[in-house]
């Protein structure tokens, strides 16, 4: 999977930097994983486990600078849900074809998100920049879903097969993609969550912390656009969104948010394994998260 880059024994930062510099034709993260035998071995083991469910050009695209991140994410998804896979995806089909579900993966481009700087200074966490990249990826994948669902003679019945969008955020620019509320940024844009807010009752000398509502974000030019996707009718065909910020996630590193308004609900047990499942209940005044926030992070 990592030819022609060799493993480097006794690795240090200087050798890491040199390896990236000496291999400009490969993705930065491809080189980082390739030169460390423990990470390289894990990826190769995942490939061996699911290569029968991968396209003929998978390895060449995995090694390419343009496709590495997306192909690694697809490899992880196929590996984690391998017990339920049925076949190799056909042209124009989702990346993971399961017995009772399909998954379409996406790795947002971190363009516009500042890279991490290690110079001892304090910097603002780029919440909005990461949020814009996540929303761009989700909106593009919704358009792709609608296109697929409108096709005639598809092998997949998108009206009855639960459809999952999977967002991979392992690049260091995304910094685990956490929001100031304590939620992941993917969840905040799906449900329309904003910053924490404190309500103080001066008479009783008590306070209450809650998550505020947010229905819009802004572009870099200050133009507003709607979020809170799982509250919107156009998202009813999407059953769930899952995500992780790990390079080589295990199933416990995957979070999946079930769409409370979908017309095609997903029973998480059909996945064959148990990720961190997040659900919301619709009430008369909004939506209630059914899992306490701190529990979902354990």
What does pLDDT average to over the chain?
92
Q: How many structural domains does the chain have?
A: 2
pLDDT of residue 88: 98
Do 39 and 175 lie in one domain? The reply is no
| Percent of the chain scoring above 70 in pLDDT | 94
Do 134 and 241 lie in one domain? The reply is yes
State mean pLDDT over 102-114: 96
Give the length of the chain.
298
Confidence of residue 197 (pLDDT cuts 50, 70, 90): low
| Per-residue pLDDT tens over the stretch 225-280 | 899 999 999 999 999 999 999 999 999 999 999 999 999 999 999 999 999 999 99
pLDDT of residue 297: 46
Is the model's pLDDT at 148 over the cut of 80? yes
Structure tokens at 90: 């056909």
Do 51 and 97 lie in one domain? The reply is no
Query: What is d(CA 284, CA 267) in angstroms, rounded to the nearest whole number?
Result: 25
pLDDT of residue 230: 96
Do 45 and 93 lie in one domain? The reply is no
Residue 72 lies in a domain: no
Q: Whose CA is closest to 242, among 282, 194, 277?
A: 277
State mean pLDDT over 120-144: 94
Check: CB of residue 242 under 8 Å from CB of residue 255.
Answer: yes
Do 169 and 278 lie in one domain? The reply is yes
Confidence of residue 287 (pLDDT cuts 50, 70, 90): confident
Check: CB of residue 209 under 8 Å from CB of residue 201.
Answer: no
Residue 80 lies in a domain: no
Q: Whose CA is closest to 134, among 176, 196, 72?
A: 176
Q: Which domain, by its residues, includes 4?
A: 1-66
């Amino acid at each position: 999977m990592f030819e022609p880059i060799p493993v480097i024994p006794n690795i240090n930062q200087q050798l890491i930097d040199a390896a990236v510099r000496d291999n400009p034709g490969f993705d930065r993260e491809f080189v980082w994983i390739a030169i460390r035998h423990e990470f390289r071995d894990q990826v190769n083991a995942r490939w061996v486990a699911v290569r029968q469910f991968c396209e003929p050009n998978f390895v060449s695209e995995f090694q390419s600078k343009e496709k590495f991140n997306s192909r690694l994410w697809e490899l992880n998804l196929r590996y984690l849900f391998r017990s339920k896979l049925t076949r190799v995806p056909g042209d124009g089909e989702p990346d993971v074809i399961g017995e009772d579900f399909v998954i379409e993966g996406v790795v947002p481009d971190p363009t516009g998100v500042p890279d991490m700087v290690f110079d001892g200074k304090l910097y603002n966490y780029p919440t909005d920049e990461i949020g814009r990249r996540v929303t761009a990826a989700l909106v593009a994948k919704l358009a792709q879903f609608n296109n697929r669902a409108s096709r005639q003679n598809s092998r997949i019945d998108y009206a009855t097969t639960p459809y999952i969008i999977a967002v991979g955020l392992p690049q260091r620019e995304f910094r685990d993609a956490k929001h100031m509320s304590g939620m992941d940024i993917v969840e905040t844009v799906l449900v329309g969550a904003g910053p924490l807010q404190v309500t103080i009752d001066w008479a009783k000398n008590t306070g209450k912390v809650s998550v505020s509502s947010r229905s819009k974000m802004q572009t870099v030019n200050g133009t507003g656009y709607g979020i809170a996707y799982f509250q919107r009718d156009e998202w009813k065909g999407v059953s769930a969104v899952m995500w992780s910020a790990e390079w080589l996630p295990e199933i416990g590193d995957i979070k999946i948010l079930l769409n409370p308004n979908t017309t095609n609900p997903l029973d998480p047990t059909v996945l064959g394994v148990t990720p961190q499942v997040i659900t919301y209940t619709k009430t008369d005044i909004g939506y209630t998260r059914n899992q306490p926030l701190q529990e979902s992070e354990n």
